Amino acid sequence: MKTVYITEMASFLPNEPVTNDQIEVVLGEIPNQPKRVKLFVLQNNGIKQRYYAVNQETGERTHTNAQLVGEAVRSLVGKVGLGVDDIQGLACGSSSPDQLIPSHANMVAGELELQPAEVMSAAGVCCSGMSALNYAYMNLSMGIRDNFVVSGSERASPFMQGHSYTMVTDSDANQTEAAPMVSFEKEFLRWMLSDGAGTALVETAPREDRLSLRIDNLEVMSWAGQKPTCMYNGMVKDKDGEFQFWSDEEDMRNVLSKGYLLLQQDVRVLDKNIIEVAVAGCKMMKDNWGLDFDSVDYFLPHLSSMYFKKRLGEHMAEAGYGIPEEKWFTNLPETGNIGSASIFVILETLLHSGRLKKGDRILCAVPESARFSMAAMLLTVV
């Protein structure tokens, strides 16, 4: 088995940053919707700014998801003097591809005009970028390829545009005769998610002219067999809590009016389960890797919201997996929650911060709430 290294990283965050008071200027308002959900979520998530692939003047799209990745990949290979044609494999994770078919990674390959290469798409939500990285890691460790470009990317903004909510009515929301209102579950993620792409060049040898990150351990595990669905798109819950699927609707107008196309999250299920799964993921690292948490120099958690940071730290410590707060590293307040791209953007920021030195150990953790998964990776700086 070959040793595998992350030898360079690059990110692309589209357009100018959008502050909290500019969100509705860019995305548009939901007609007649009270501001209480917006205020509650923004007060708790700790995000100060984020990025959207949206023209802030016209509201029009500026980039597709594939184009976001393309911008990041071109920057990535340029940093190490490679050409796009030198890419042997491309693995892309996203929860918000631009289309149902073809696959997201194939659209990225088209955007880059790649020569024939191995291409793989990872579905899912926040863990999908790490699943793509895991595929590249296994591929290179077996000696099949010498390099892979990996991405995590999101273009969540189409699901959050004000006009996306105009036909939605909710039997479970507070209604008025004049203006039916959108339920909390359908509005919540509008104030949480944003757009961007993060990429990594993965190779079977470190680069002598820069720091590289040796992948010591990498796992992606799902608790879906024991946990309920929490975050979803393309289906809705009925009044009995059962899921209905968009493809079963005989009248396609119902797909819009019932909110099938909105990103939704059951925050009660989230609050009850996400910390438990994250701590279970820590147990996995200890049991499977023999990880000594005291040996970690930098802890990079993907936090959907700063609301969870203190709780996660306390529960990790109680379970015997504590990492001092001064070792935690995140850029969530500055970049926003970019789903599958977040861990790449966090790691890329640390890699180029000037703080790392040879021998440092970096632990990355990505808890995902869609149906509760956990991705974890241990790196050593070389």
Half-sphere exposure of 231 (CA within 13 A, CB side): 23
Domain ranges of the chain: 5-210, 217-233+264-381
Fold agreement between 5-210 and 217-233+264-381: yes
Neighbouring-strand partners of residue 305: none
Q: Using DSSP bridges, classify how beta strands 147-154 and 89-93 pair: parallel, antiparallel or unpaired.
A: parallel
Residue 215, Ramachandran bin (φ over 0: left; ψ between -120 and 50: alpha; else beta): beta
Q: In angstroms, rounded to a whole number, what is the distance separating the alpha carbons of residues 235 and 205?
A: 44
The superfamily (CATH) of domain 5-210 is Thiolase/Chalcone synthase (3.40.47.10)
375, 366 contact by CB (below 8 A): yes
Q: In angstroms, rounded to a whole number, what is the distance separating the alpha carbons of residues 19 and 115?
A: 40
pLDDT in tens, the chain (382 residues): 999 999 999 999 999 999 999 999 999 998 888 899 999 999 999 999 999 999 999 999 999 999 999 999 999 999 999 999 999 999 999 999 999 999 999 999 999 999 999 999 999 999 999 999 999 999 999 999 999 999 999 999 999 999 888 878 665 455 444 444 578 888 999 999 999 999 999 999 999 999 999 999 999 999 999 999 999 999 999 888 899 999 999 999 999 889 999 999 999 999 999 999 999 999 999 999 999 999 999 999 999 999 999 999 999 999 999 999 999 999 999 999 999 999 999 999 999 999 999 999 999 999 999 999 999 999 999 9
Take residue 226 and report the two structure tokens written for it. Answer: 């024991």
State the pTM of this model. Answer: 0.95
- In the three-class reduction of DSSP (H, G, I as helix; E, B as strand; rest coil), residue 299 is classed as strand
Fold of 217-233+264-381: Peroxisomal Thiolase; Chain A, domain 1 (3.40.47)
Q: In angstroms, rounded to a whole number, what is the distance separating the alpha carbons of residues 369 and 233?
A: 13
Could you tell me which residues come within 8 angstroms of residue 361 by beta carbon, excluding any fewer than 6 positions away? 295, 296, 297, 298, 378, 379, 380, 381
